[in-house]
Amino acid sequence: MKNKNYILFDLDGTIIDPKEGITKSIAYALDHYNIHIEDLDSLCKYIGPPFREIFMEDYGFSREEVEKVLSKYRERFSKLGVYESTLYLGMDDLLKNLRDKKLIVATSKPTIFAEKILDYHNIKQYFHFIGGCELDGERSTKEEVIKYVLDYNHISSRDEVVMIGDRKYDVFGAKENDIESIGVLYGYGGFEELSSAGADYLVETVEDLLKLIKG
């Protein structure tokens, strides 16, 4: 890991636990369409993957309808959800200890929300660059987001880069861009999902993540 000069971080389930903000905002959006969610924990599977595809698969929304659902979701999330998350224990120390690296956020969340969340937790200053999707759906996959941050920052040597995330989408996105990946088991994917996806490394805690990167 000592040769990794660019450390790409997923946001949800990797840097922060966004459970409260995301699940409450999804429930709010679905309730508008008479889909009533009693158990917010049942919505945890939506933490990580792009919403559009999953909403269409699980609830049968058309592409036009799903944009309206997303608009309703963001109606609540932009006002409340961005402040309903917790920083994983030890994350602030990890970021401080990696100041000799170029730290980059690569998230499927819209960039504007990612920036607000990082500001709220007072950790935005640790990141060299924050890359996410656009509100109109541009760069909706993790593969596209990773490619965008690599291209924008003119990072050509893939051996110097590693992607950290908690879901299979982070691993697949890394593979498509020819970079290694670290799966974090404290997030929402879990061992089976991350190992089956082919993560190059797996860590159980934030402390273990720091030890791996620092060597």
Mark whether 10 is an active-site residue: yes
The CA–CA distances, whole Å, from 143 to 64, 72, 135, 169, 173 equal 24, 26, 17, 8, 4
Question: Which token pair is 198?
Answer: 């082919």
Rounded to a whole number, what is the largest CA-CA distance in the chain?
52
The residues near 129 (Cβ < 8 Å, ≥ 6 apart) are 102, 104, 105, 149, 152, 153
User: Which one from 10, 12, 17, 166 is the annotated catalytic residue?
Assistant: 10
Q: How many C-beta neighbours within 10 Å does residue 64 have? A: 7
Q: Pairing state of beta strands 86-87 and 16-17? A: antiparallel
DSSP secondary structure letter of residue 61: -
Residues 6 or more apart whose Cβ sits within 8 Å of residue 28? 72, 73, 75, 76
Task: Give the catalytic positions in this structure.
Answer: 10
